[in-house]
Chains A and B, each alone.
Chain A
Amino acid sequence: MAKKYPETKILSRNFGVENSWTLDVARERGAYKSLEKALEEMTPDQLIEEVKTSRVRGRGGAGFPTGVKWGFVPKENDKPKYLVLNADESEPGTFKDRYLMELDPHLVLEGCLLCAYACGLSTIYIYVRGEYPLSIERLEGAIEEARKAGFIGKKVLGKKGFDVECYVHPGAGAYICGEETGMLESLEGKRGHPRIKPPFPAVEGAFGCPTVINNVETLAHVPWIVEHGGQAFADQGIQPDPDNPKALGSSGTKLMGVSGPVKNPGVWEFEFGITVKELIYDYAGGPLDGREVKAVIPGGLSMPVLTADELDVKMGFDDLVKVGSGLGTGTAIVMDDSCDMVEACENIAHFFADESCGQCTPCREGCHWMEKIFARIKGGEGTPADLDLLERLFINIEGRTICALADAAVWPLRSIIRKFRHEFLAKMPGTDAADGEDPKAAEAETVGAK
């Protein structure tokens, strides 16, 4: 047997340490050293350059290069500038940021403060989902401690001109507020209806002012980058593909998780390079006894599924795109052979119908419609034409809305009905599949997907 892919302890170095969330323990273990270093040795521009060099990509799901995002913040602008830390983590199957906030809130704060210093931001709002009471408590406690210790407030660590405030803003139960502009609306005290871009938040974000929005895990990487240099971060993980300008690589480490019917669900940190299969079998313990893995959504709920045959792919931004899926949040959901894929689709469609903000027609009406079609198929009242109807709805929903929630609904559902078509046909009276014949043959007979 090949050697097990090694775990790394950078972001997770304080996980499991007693009272790791307190300032005393955190400082003993090096917290705020990078902030001190940056304030003493680096200009804000140098810090942005370092983050650019690291090629760190957003860990919230979209994978946008963080340094580039920071560079968008206009320098010549009298308005106050904000950091909104995306700690909404509403993506189903995702729980990695919770570990960071509960177990190492000072690392999160240090990342925020470094970002504020680099981009000239004066206020940090940490938008934590309301369903994370312990994260809220630990962050608020950490902010209080950090304020007393001079890391937050006027003249941070005595640095003239670097004044920064930090507050926790609790969400109240809405998936859409994890979308960055929906989050801004919610922060402003409104319903979380995503905004049309442009203008982009870096120019016109919270309260009409320039705003940086980053994921918790993304910023938690920054202290290490400051300490060891951007190049050291970039040297880790999967390098960019020189032949493909879109493949920016997956540098550094990532918190990866697995949930669902596996022996040992959880979250671990790896240098990019581990495969989905290694993650699920070597770390999550594989399927429960007597079961087999049937399908895996590699990153949250919003990505296309991989079948059991497709798991030999690296958990990386570009690698998963290459096989028609995506890294998303890097936390996989496993479905085993006891899972009825039609019912799973109904469950997934229900989620998106429930969480659609209601703004754009295709998403508001379409998600619920899809759910009803899956319910109909589940109830034995579907026909093969329903699968064609679904394919048509996917076209009319994907890419036709203000934000990506609708796309996120389409991707897992479309991949499931394409990859597990026979399960759908088997529930349709009169089809060969329903009569117990070879599912592949039945598939060939029916009108194929576009």
Chain B
Amino acid sequence: MADKVSTIFINGTEYPFKEGQTVIQVCHENGIDVPHYCYHPGLSIAGNCRICMVEVEGNPQPQISCKMQCAPPPWVSEPLKIQTESEVAEEGRSGVMEMLLVNHPLDCPICDQAGECHLQDYSYEHGGGKASTSTAKTKLPKNVPFGEKIVYDAERCIKCTLCVRFCQEVTETNELDLGGRGDEEIVIMTSKGEFETPYAMNIIDICPVGALTSKDFRFKSRLWFMDFAPSIDTSSAKGVNITTGGREGEFLRIEPRYNPGVNQWWMSDEGRLGYKFVNSPTRVKAPLVRGENGELAEALWHNAIDAAGTALRASPGDVLVDGGCTLEEMALAQELASAMGAKAKFAAATGEGDDWLITEEKGANAKGGEMLGLARAKRASAAAVLMIERDEHVNASMREKAGAVVVFALDMEQVPDSAQVVFPMPSWAEREGLLVNIDGLVQAMERNQGIGPGNLTPPVELLEELIGEFDDAYEWRGREGVIESIRAMKAFEGVPFPGDTATAEVGA
């Protein structure tokens, strides 16, 4: 018997494949675009949308690449020869596109998916460009609530069943099923009307069209007006990779970002919706200094830094930081504390978790804090400096009882009466930095220019300024320099950082 075939020709180029791989997988691995709707690498193969058709040499009919094994049948000793751009393949796809649009409402102007809709994209690339039908479209239910957070439109739905399979295979909670038959087929929900799974909103992301939209994000913004940045979900400590989306200062949405080692394609609903506090109308937008009248008043940045230095020299003490502060911020907090002859601690809430992406540890960088050697503040105690992002970490009792004179706060509501100087704390979406997830993985988040008040001096810079207030010889290192000194620490020996190698992947 001949050797097993281990390569496949795609558009004339020979590629190796691993046992069990399908044609679409090898195409995608090698950057060859094959459109797909019902295929998702994290779910079972349904093979129903038919858009991923390619030409297989020797077969007059195009074949779906999502189900097709790269390995030829056992009696064939030659590698398969696939064409993804040939006339046969293109004709097959445009035929499917036409079918998909026969009953589609074509309501792109009012559809949230516009701009990230595979139906739109592929129609542009593979569609015929003109309609062949003037027949009436099938009427199906619209604006159907799937629980509190999701809205379903059966007319836009292409019945790819990704959402159904997600609830069956990933969460195993089976809230969704198919109902009806033929062109009246629709997705239906259990009569409870609410998802058991705390991961339901992932079905919005995997929906290739605008059939499932987020109630939270519906009609808020066109995508092409928004800014996006890669970041990390800081609602728990798993380090779920996300993309933040904002527009003109407003935080509008969070979507998961693929990371095979952390969250794959998914995130929790809690993390996804956990951005609301960032849009608070009472955000601290400028440095504040308490005047002689006892009121906090806006001040220039350098005046506020001077005032903070004065206040801290007068009453030095511990630095208590939010468990979601970055590694760089925590390291500098530690240096500031030791400059004052005190200690840095971090505070982080704990709560309910599951065995997956929701951790009991809620401090997104609690692990980083521990590695740096910061103690975990269990209860309220005295501190001179507070860094507060989320209410739940440096909680109300800690804030009130610390007696801190310098406070980094995101929201005016978080500022204790003791504060002499208040610096605006940008939210995590507005900061760049490193977080160590609960499994010890160091990951980077980037700043989204479209979120937050803007013009906020990064806490890293302010911390360096404050250290300088105590140490005349302090040399500014910038974020990069701080990272270098962190990497030199024993606790971080051999720990990969983003950008080192593929192991500390920031996402695909």
Residues of A within 8 A of B (CB): 174, 191, 196, 353-362, 364-369, 372-373, 376, 389, 392, 395-396, 399-402
The verdict on B135 contacting chain A, using a C-beta distance below 8 Å, is: yes
- Interface residues in B66-102 by Cβ distance below 8 A to A read 67, 92, 95-96, 98-100, 102
Q: Give min CB distance, B102 to chain A, whole Å.
A: 5
List 14 extra interface pairs beyond A358-B182, A362-B99, CB under 8 A. Answer: A196-B47, A356-B183, A359-B46, A361-B48, A362-B96, A364-B183, A365-B103, A367-B182, A368-B182, A372-B136, A392-B95, A396-B92, A396-B98, A402-B48
Residues of B within 8 A of A (CB): 45-51, 53, 61-62, 67, 92, 95-96, 98-100, 102-103, 132-133, 135-136, 138, 158-159, 178, 180-185
Report Cα–Cα, A31/B178, bound state, in Å: 45
B102–A365 contact, CB under 8 A? yes
Report Cα–Cα, A191/B187, bound state, in Å: 13
Q: List the 3 shortest-distance A-B pairs measured between CB atoms, nearest first.
A: A396-B95, A358-B185, A365-B99
Assess A369 versus B181: contact at CB under 8 Å? Given A360-B50, A361-B158. Answer: no
B92 — which chain A residues lie within 8 A by C-beta? 396, 400
Report Cα–Cα, A353/B183, bound state, in Å: 8
A372–B178 contact, CB under 8 A? no
16 contacts between A and B (CB under 8 A): A191-B178, A196-B67, A356-B182, A358-B181, A358-B183, A358-B184, A358-B185, A360-B49, A364-B183, A365-B102, A367-B183, A372-B135, A376-B135, A395-B95, A400-B62, A400-B95
B96–A361 contact, CB under 8 A? yes
Q: Give min CB distance, A397 to chain B, whole Å.
A: 8
Report Cα–Cα, A372/B138, bound state, in Å: 11
Assess A361 versus B181: contact at CB under 8 Å? Given A196-B47, A400-B53. Answer: no
A365–B100 contact, CB under 8 A? yes
A389 — which chain B residues lie within 8 A by C-beta? 132
Q: Residue of A at shortest CB range from B102?
A: A365
Q: Residue of A at shortest CB range from B96?
A: A361
Point out the residue from B46, B50, B135, B180 that lies within 8 Å of A358, measured CB to CB: B180
B48 — which chain A residues lie within 8 A by C-beta? 359-361, 402
Report Cα–Cα, A368/B103, bound state, in Å: 10
A401–B135 contact, CB under 8 A? no
Q: Give min CB distance, B132 to chain A, whole Å.
A: 6
Which label, helix, strand, loop or mixed, suits the secondary structure of the B interface?
A: loop
A400–B96 contact, CB under 8 A? yes
Report Cα–Cα, A290/B51, bound state, in Å: 51
A359 — which chain B residues lie within 8 A by C-beta? 46, 48, 159
Q: Residue of A at shortest CB range from B59?
A: A399
Q: Give min CB distance, B187 to chain A, whole Å.
A: 11
A367 — which chain B residues lie within 8 A by C-beta? 182-183
Which label, helix, strand, loop or mixed, suits the secondary structure of the A interface?
A: helix
Report Cα–Cα, A135/B92, bound state, in Å: 43
B96 — which chain A residues lie within 8 A by C-beta? 361-362, 396, 400
Q: Give min CB distance, A275 to chain B, whole Å.
A: 32
B135–A369 contact, CB under 8 A? yes
Q: Give min CB distance, A315 to chain B, whole Å.
A: 29
Report Cα–Cα, A330/B45, bound state, in Å: 35
Report Cα–Cα, A357/B182, bound state, in Å: 5
Q: Give min CB distance, A33 to chain B, whole Å.
A: 41
Q: Give min CB distance, A175 to chain B, whole Å.
A: 10
Assess A368 versus B138: contact at CB under 8 Å? Given A396-B96, A400-B50. Answer: yes
B67 — which chain A residues lie within 8 A by C-beta? 196
A364–B95 contact, CB under 8 A? no
Assess A366 versus B47: contact at CB under 8 Å? Given A358-B178, A376-B135, A400-B61. Answer: no
Assess A401 versus B50: contact at CB under 8 Å? Given A365-B99, A365-B100, A368-B138. Answer: yes
A368 — which chain B residues lie within 8 A by C-beta? 103, 138, 182-183
Report Cα–Cα, A360/B99, bound state, in Å: 10
A401 — which chain B residues lie within 8 A by C-beta? 50
Q: Residue of A at shortest CB range from B177?
A: A191
B103 — which chain A residues lie within 8 A by C-beta? 365, 368
B53–A364 contact, CB under 8 A? no
Report Cα–Cα, A368/B158, bound state, in Å: 15
Q: Give min CB distance, B97 to chain A, whole Å.
A: 9
A402 — which chain B residues lie within 8 A by C-beta? 47-48
A358 — which chain B residues lie within 8 A by C-beta? 159, 178, 180-185
A372 — which chain B residues lie within 8 A by C-beta? 133, 135-136
Report Cα–Cα, A399/B96, bound state, in Å: 12
Report Cα–Cα, A162/B95, bound state, in Å: 52
Q: Give min CB distance, A208 to chain B, whole Å.
A: 13
Residue from A355, A364, A372 whose CB has the most chain B CB atoms within 10 Å: A364
Q: Residue of B at shortest CB range from A353?
A: B182
Q: Give min CB distance, A112 to chain B, whole Å.
A: 30
A362–B50 contact, CB under 8 A? yes
B159 — which chain A residues lie within 8 A by C-beta? 358-359, 361, 364
Q: Residue of B at shortest CB range from A352?
A: B182
Residue from A365, A373, A395 whose CB has the most chain B CB atoms within 10 Å: A365
B183 — which chain A residues lie within 8 A by C-beta? 353, 356, 358, 364-365, 367-368
Report Cα–Cα, A351/B415, bound state, in Å: 71
Report Cα–Cα, A167/B92, bound state, in Å: 43
Report Cα–Cα, A411/B103, bound state, in Å: 24
Q: Residue of A at shortest CB range from B67?
A: A196
Q: Give min CB distance, B38 to chain A, whole Å.
A: 9
Assess A399 versus B182: contact at CB under 8 Å? Given A196-B67, A358-B159, A360-B48. Answer: no
Q: Give min CB distance, A366 to chain B, whole Å.
A: 6
B133–A362 contact, CB under 8 A? no
Report Cα–Cα, A389/B51, bound state, in Å: 20
Report Cα–Cα, A355/B185, bound state, in Å: 12
A399–B50 contact, CB under 8 A? no
Report Cα–Cα, A141/B23, bound state, in Å: 51
B100 — which chain A residues lie within 8 A by C-beta? 361, 365
Report Cα–Cα, A367/B135, bound state, in Å: 13
A196–B45 contact, CB under 8 A? yes
Report Cα–Cα, A362/B102, bound state, in Å: 10
Report Cα–Cα, A372/B46, bound state, in Å: 28
Report Cα–Cα, A373/B47, bound state, in Å: 27
Q: Give min CB distance, B337 to chain A, whole Å.
A: 61
Assess A361 versus B182: contact at CB under 8 Å? Given A368-B138, A400-B92. Answer: no
Q: Residue of B at shortest CB range from A364?
A: B183
Report Cα–Cα, A193/B225, bound state, in Å: 42
